[in-house]
Amino acid sequence: MKILIVYAHPEPRSLNGSLRDRMVATLAAAGHEVLVSDLYAEGWKAALDGADFPAEPAGARLEVVAASHRAFAEGTQTADVAREQRRLLWADAVILQFPLWWFSMPAIMKGWVERVFAHGFAYGVGEHSDRRWGDRYGEGVFAGKRAMLVVTAGGWAEHYEERGINGPIDDLLFPIQHGILFYPGFSVMEPFVVYRADRMDAERFHDVTGELDRRLAGLFVEAPISFRPQNAGDYEIPSMRLKDGLERAGLQGLRLHRR
């Protein structure tokens, strides 16, 4: 299979760099084709701005959604954005790898999402009617592809557990896993998270990479997170409210949106 790793860490001699190298080696040894978008090494432009839409008239007011739509539809996107879109379409699975900075992805990767996930490509697609609300949340350009986060965090695992002060890791990652990956159609695998990443020794690294290898072996085998598809009957249209009674009695919070 074909796998794209989108990687965001400024230092190749980091734990993240080592984990990326391990993933490339493990996936290649299993017969997969692997491409790496190394955002820092490639000098990825992080901030979405008017320079992303070179065909817009000079001095025109920038309306981001409309400009993104035109640039994608008319083939006037910048070369780096078009290349990343081709890589995404090529891939059977996409791995986003990053250190958790301030409880989310680094800015450079957020900017990759903002610039590459164009209107008409990753959002703003499909029919809006009384039966559908566009192709999103389980449908869309990436339907049939898998995605997984590989994340390092400085904090303790306990602090990210169900009652941990940081909030459960699944809830912290919901805007990414549900809002960025499931939205344009990816099947999202459970994340691979390394805690206390700044306290790594040879023994832990051995254990962590062994577990990472196991997760990669399951990338096309394990069941993805059971996020509810939007247009399969679980949500009212157009309020997009989860219908009453579908969840286990008493369940609250973001887990409502898993089956």
Is there a contact between 53 and 70 (Cβ–Cβ < 8 Å)? Answer: yes
Is there a contact between 218 and 177 (Cβ–Cβ < 8 Å)? Answer: no
Shortest Å, Cβ 145 to a copy of itself: 18
Token pair recorded at residue 251 = 């369940």
User: Which CB sits closer to a copy of itself, 130 or 221?
Assistant: 130
Q: Which residue type is seen at 71?
A: A
CA-atom Rg of the chain in angstroms? 19
Shortest Å, Cβ 35 to a copy of itself: 21
User: Which CB sits closer to a copy of itself, 121 or 174?
Assistant: 174
Q: What is the pairing mode between strands 93-99 and 146-152?
A: parallel
Cα–Cα distance between 17 and 226 in angstroms, integer? 30
User: Which CB sits closer to a copy of itself, 1 or 200?
Assistant: 200
Shortest Å, Cβ 133 to a copy of itself: 8
User: Which CB sits closer to a copy of itself, 27 or 172?
Assistant: 172
Residue 207, judged by CB atoms within 10 A of its CB (0-12, 13-18, 19+), counts as exposed
Shortest Å, Cβ 25 to a copy of itself: 21
Cα–Cα distance between 231 and 134 in angstroms, integer? 8
Max Cα-Cα span within the chain: 58
User: Which CB sits closer to a copy of itself, 26 or 137?
Assistant: 137
Shortest Å, Cβ 29 to a copy of itself: 27
Shortest Å, Cβ 66 to a copy of itself: 9
Q: What phi and psi, each to the nearest 5 degrees, are found at residue 91? A: -75, 145
Residue with token string 């490339």: 24
Is there a contact between 97 and 6 (Cβ–Cβ < 8 Å)? Answer: yes
User: Which CB sits closer to a copy of itself, 26 or 98?
Assistant: 98
User: Which CB sits closer to a copy of itself, 161 or 211?
Assistant: 161
Shortest Å, Cβ 125 to a copy of itself: 15
Helix or strand run (H / E) with residue 110: helix 107-116
User: CA nearest 150: which of 89, 224, 212?
Assistant: 212
Q: Which residues bind a copy of itself (CB under 8 A)?
A: 10-11, 13-14, 40, 44, 46-50, 61-65, 99, 101-108, 110-111, 113-114, 117, 137, 154, 156, 158-159, 161, 163-168, 171-172, 174-176, 178-180, 198, 230, 235, 238-242, 250-257
